[in-house]
Amino acid sequence: MPKSSDLLEWYDHNARTMPWRVGPQERQAGVTPDPYRIWMSEIMLQQTTVAAVKDYFERFTARWATVSDLAAAEDADVMAEWAGLGYYARARNLLKCARVVADELDGVFPGTVEELLKLPGVGPYTAGAVASIAFDHPATVVDGNVERVMARLFDVHTPLPAAKPELTDLAAALTPDVRPGDYAQAVMDLGATICTPRNPACGICPWRQPCRARLAGTAADLPKKTPKKPKPIRHGVAYIARRVDGAFLLERRPDSGLLGGMLGWPGSDWVEVDAPAHEAPIRAEWKTLNTEARHTFTHFHLRLKVCTALVPMDRKPSVGEFVDADTFDPGNLPTAMRKAFDLYSGA
């Protein structure tokens, strides 16, 4: 049976450094993690990698050092700072949650899974991760890394996602009462650095002795996954109108739905037919670029036709509003919209 103490000993020497993490030596010296920073990192890490999140995390926490600072922020500033990180519902929930904690809980994050689950945008994984990492409670935390490690340690061949309950039970059974916060991070680190999807480094793994997949020679084939259906392709049209004074016509998308609350180019709906119905947001001589902007979301690939025009000062748009050239920052656009702008800029 794998021992948590073996993994913790490995973690003491091999923990990854992350801007939100309190390392094992600091923890042993009595430093406790800031629940605000742990919560923010976990929200940012949903569906995203550590490498992609680091800069965003540094910027957010430099600008809004406490949950009360974030709660008092303008929605548009937070959405703009989030631009490019994707899954924009997370940014809206981040704000909602900060406001609940600041206004209703005196700025203090709750420490139990049950209480954390009541906060906006906090699901079972995030609640478990915050309870465990920030408050050192023995919660079970199962991400993709942990699933892979468990499937291999116990040589589980049931494909994901059907295997999830079994892998969660196995992870729960291994979670110790001693240093549970360090342990949760240690399994994730093991999955990210040693027990990697391809070519696991079994020779230097602290769990190589008890690992059943290593003994059976099946590690590289695990975890098994049910094949995914291919993603559909959706088509859309984006209109980039520039006024003669350099201002761009932008529209804030509705709060609900994809890219909700973000600024973007006016355009058609995104649909699975090649020629979506669309109407220009302003009267102009529109030209269509030869290349489409392409972006992949979780559930579909997007092909965005880009129409561009130069419009006179006195023309009024039917949707959106002009943003002055010195205020417009393409970095504040969500990635799909920024790709359309990049095509326009290079055209």
The Cα angle at residue 280 between residues 279 and 284, in degrees rounded to 5: 145
Which residues contact residue 280 at a Cβ distance below 8 angstroms, ignoring those fewer than 6 apart?
239, 286, 307, 309
Among 96, 99, 208, 315, binds ligand SF4 (CB under 6 A): 208
Size of the site for ligand SF4 (CB under 6 A): 15
Q: Segment contacting ligand SF4 (CB under 6 A): 21-29, 120-128, 212-220, 265-273? A: 212-220
Any contact of residue 153 with ligand SF4 (CB under 6 A)? yes
Cα gap 320→12, rounded to integer Å? 54
Q: Nearest approach, Cβ of 161 to ligand SF4 (angstroms)?
A: 20
CB 320 within 8 A of CB 243: no
Is the distance from CB of 214 to CB of 153 less than 8 angstroms?
A: no
Nearest partner of 153 among 226, 199, 206, judged by Cα: 206
Asked if residue 192 binds ligand SF4 (CB under 6 A), the reply is no
Tell me if 171 contacts ligand SF4 by CB under 6 A. Answer: no
Q: Is residue 194 within the footprint of ligand SF4 (CB under 6 A)?
A: yes
Catalytic residue among 42, 81, 147, 292: 42
Q: How far apart are CB 207 and ligand SF4 at their closest, in Å? A: 5
Both tokens assigned to 133: 């990492």
Cβ nearer to ligand SF4, comparing 141 with 149: 149
Q: C-beta of 220: minimal distance to ligand SF4 in Å?
A: 8
Least CB distance to ligand SF4 at residue 64 (A): 38
Instruction: Spell out the SS3 assignment of 10-76.
Output: HHHHHCCCCCCCCCHHHHHCCCCCCHHHHHHHHHHHCCCCHHHHHHHHHHHHHHCCCHHHHHCCCHH
Q: Any catalytic annotation for residue 104?
A: no
Query: From residue 219 to residue 238, what is the string marking binding to ligand SF4 with x (rule CB under 6 A)?
Result: x-------------------
Residue choice 21, 27, 137, 152 for contact with ligand SF4 (CB under 6 A): 152
The region of 55-63, 115-123, 145-153, 177-185 touching ligand SF4 under the rule CB under 6 A is 145-153
For binding to ligand SF4 (CB under 6 A), which residues are involved?
149, 152-153, 194-195, 200-202, 205, 207-208, 211, 213-214, 219
Q: Which residues are catalytic?
A: 42
